[in-house]
Structures are given as structure tokens and as C-alpha cells.
Amino acid sequence: MTDHTEDVQSFERRASTYENSFFQRLFFDRIHRNALHAVPEGLQPESILDIGCGTGRLLRRAAACWPDARLTGVDPAEGMVKVARRLTPAAEFQVSLAESLALPDSYADLAFSTASFHHWQDQQQGLRQIARVLRPGGLFVLVDILMPLGIGKIHPHGRHTNAAAVRAMFTMAGLVMQSQRRAMGWFILVTVGRRGE
């Protein structure tokens, strides 16, 4: 069994209780606020995609901001998607890895990924997929934990991440850097990129 399979299975085991975890209010709600605040004022997306959507919590917040947008979430854990479908019936959900999105080219004009990037097996391939499914000029907001070397002792499935590496991966994927900042005590990185026209 690969590390990736074990990682997904750990989310499968937590799917039924994940939404009501105290950690959601303590940690993920703050991450989601940072993601939504990174979107430029006045943007009115027609289609919003959340990669690593979990139980759909961010999409429900996005629906409050942009009630007319089409909402889509993808997550590799089937249990999470099942809960998301129940809690967010207005959205579409798929069981999928970031690295192999089963969505057409130019599908969304706003995409998010919050606290899932460090779980991706192939981060560069995932970013290439996001650039593919974004419309020209579409925006991608990545909010993730900074994962310094040695974090594997605490988080065995986490990928090493730092600000410079994320910027380089965005550029290689065809995403034009718009901004990057740290948040929540400097251990969260908020990176915004735009697909070239």
C-alpha cells in the first residue's frame, strides 16, 4: 500500500465526523476566510472549483459570496464526497485526485485548494491540471501549510513545501503569479496565480 493510499484512507475513516470536528472551526474556517479574502474585490465568477474539497465547507461559503456561480468540488476520498453531496446539494462533486481532474479544459474561472496541496502525490502535475481546467485569465487561490524539512516526523504523508518552490511550480504550470503572503502566524502560505490569456 502506498503512502498516498494510506493518506486517502485516513480521510475515509474520518469522513462521517470531519464536518463537526472542533478543528474545522479552529483551523479550517480561518484558512477558508484567507482563501476568500485573496479573491480580488468585484470578481464575479461563473464557475468555482474546489480541489480537495472535503465535505464542501469552502464551497458553501463561496455560494454565500457568489450565489449565481456553478460550484464543483473534487476530493480523492469517496466518503468525503458523499458527505459533501448531502450537505451541499447545489454543487457537483467528483471523486478525483488533483493530478487527474476529470473536467473539461477551461471549465472554471475561479479555483481553490485549501490545506490539501501538501497531500498531493505529484504537486506539479496537479498544478498543470488546474491550469488546464481554468479559463484563460482564470484565478487559482492556493492556501496551504508551509511544510519545512523534517515535518515528516509529525505528518508522514506531507510533501515539503516552501514559498519559493510554490512560485516556481506555478510558473512551470503556466500560472502567472499575482500575489503570495503568509497568514495565521506565518505557517500558512496564500498564493494566487492566474492562467495566462
Top pLDDT among 72 and 147 is at 72
Question: Any idea what DSSP says for residue 139?
Answer: E
CA 39 to chain centre: 14
E strand or H helix that includes residue 130:
helix 123-133
Tens digits of residue pLDDT in 14-43? 666 667 776 666 788 899 999 999 999 999
Burial degree of 89 (CB within 10 A; 0-12, 13-18, 19+):
exposed
Q: Report yes or no on whether pTM surpasses 0.75.
A: yes
**CATH level 3 topology of 3-195:** Rossmann fold (3.40.50)
Residue ranges of the domains in the chain? 3-195
Q: What pLDDT does 16 receive?
A: 65
